[in-house]
Amino acid sequence: MAVQTIRVDQQTWRFEEGGVRFFLLTGTERALLIDSGMETRNAKELTEALTDLPLSLLNTHTDRDHTGSNAEFSEFYLHPAETVNWYNHGDPKGNVLPVWDGDILDLGDRPLEIIHIPGHTPGSIAILDVKHRRLFSGDTVQDGGIFMFGPMREMHAYRCSLQRLETMADRFDEIYPSHASCPVPPSLIGELDSAAEKILTKAIDGVPGEMFGNPVSVYDAGPARFLCNPEKKEG
């Protein structure tokens, strides 16, 4: 699959691969790839065309559409709570370099703060680009389809994570999600929280659907569509 490379600024690129995107950030000393695509298997090659800085990989989480080029790396940053997801992928490779909530990865005059935001997956993280005032949100904050079906997804935890991000919204001006529109405004966080509350309290109804052969309930909640377990009793 062809990947489109878009330059955001002199130190930031986004790679568009159909319905998912990943990012390259550089500092004065090193470079960081945030996720590695879905069908993409040459993310390292793509980045080498843009920078010759030493490159590391960080995964916001390990759903398959975020780890396509992980095998190119002998090690990668990941929140330890996400290993329960990663090691269910059959034959995962690479050493996990743990990152914890509040950790700072400094690329050289470019500090990146790790924010643990469980809910979509247990170890989902957001990355706050402190000086550029950008939040890289993975799948948690977006205006597309948010997967909340299958094992290890939890809507209550998702709401807690959104509410925490709201308390930090004065620290970023834009949000760069892995799916759908990019960038999106910080106001989307509160809208998603309100939508999740409506699902949990059954204020809106889901419509039966299917995703990857799995039955789901689709909630068109306004700011995004939530795909949830049909058998799960929310609330």
Per-residue pLDDT of the chain (235 residues; tens, 9 = 90+): 689 999 999 999 999 999 999 999 999 999 999 999 999 999 999 999 999 999 999 999 999 999 999 999 999 999 999 999 999 876 788 999 999 999 999 999 999 999 999 999 999 999 999 999 999 999 999 999 999 999 899 999 999 999 999 999 999 999 999 999 999 999 999 999 999 999 999 999 999 999 989 999 999 999 999 999 995 444 4
- Token reading at 43: 């993310």
**pTM beyond 0.85:** yes
Q: What are the extents of the domains in the chain?
A: 4-186
Strands 55-58 and 31-34: parallel
- Dmax over CA atoms of the chain, in Å, equals 52
**Is the CB of residue 13 less than 8 Å from the CB of residue 34?**
no
DSSP output for 46-102: HHHTT--S-EEEE-S---GGG-TTGGG-SEEEE-GGGHHHHTTSSS--SEEEE--TT
- Token reading at 203: 């204020």
Q: Residue 114's beta-bridge partner residues?
A: 127
CB atoms within 10 A of CB 97: 13
The owner of tokens 């960038």 is 183
Q: What is the spatial distance between Cα 98 and Cα 39, in angstroms, rounded to a whole number?
A: 25
Q: Class of the 4-186 domain?
A: alpha beta
